[in-house]
Amino acid sequence: MTEPRCGTPHHRYPDTLCTEPAGHYQPDRDPHAGPLIIDGRQAGAAAWDEPKEQQHMTDRHTADSITSDALDQLYDQLATAEQACEQLQQRLDHAKEDLRHRTETATAAPGADALRADQAEAAIARAHHVANLIAAGAPWTANLDDTANRLREALDGQP
Ligand SMILES: [Zn+2]
């Protein structure tokens, strides 16, 4: 057995070393393999691929490894994220409120416009009536003030 061995440690059980020939490893095709050793004792055999995101996994904190500084930093990040969430929620609420307001205004406007149009039509009809009376020579046409007042009343919506 002079052939050099791979010797790559298992990513979770570093006492477990690959006993395959050196240079054998091919991801997803030729996994590392060797006796599984946990806490110094053999517990069967293991075959494993190297973690695909090794960098990520070594960067990741665990409850055992995290320092209080790193924990503070994580809490800061959490607070910042929560704040951002809150601001987004507020903006969303405002946008909803604005939309609701615009929707109400948009639905109210046609009704208001229609009402104003009806009132304008009625005023024009009354003015036409007064014009007809003037043309017919109604007795109050002798008085210009009286005539003007009747026309104004017709336009202002009074009977
Ligand atoms: Zn190996």
- Helices of type H across 42-143: 54-59, 68-135
Average pLDDT, stretch 80-103? 82
Average pLDDT, stretch 103-116? 74
Ligand 1 geometric centre to CA of 18 (Å): 5
Q: Is the pLDDT of residue 54 over 60?
A: no
CA distances from 111 to 99, 101, 156, 157 (A): 19, 16, 21, 19
Ligand 1 geometric centre to CA of 48 (Å): 9
The pLDDT, as a whole number, for residue 16 is 95
Cβ-contact 31, 11 below 8 angstroms: no
Average pLDDT, stretch 23-37? 93
**pLDDT > 70: what percent of the chain?**
87
Ligand 1 geometric centre to CA of 70 (Å): 34
Query: What are 33's strand-pairing partners?
Result: 47
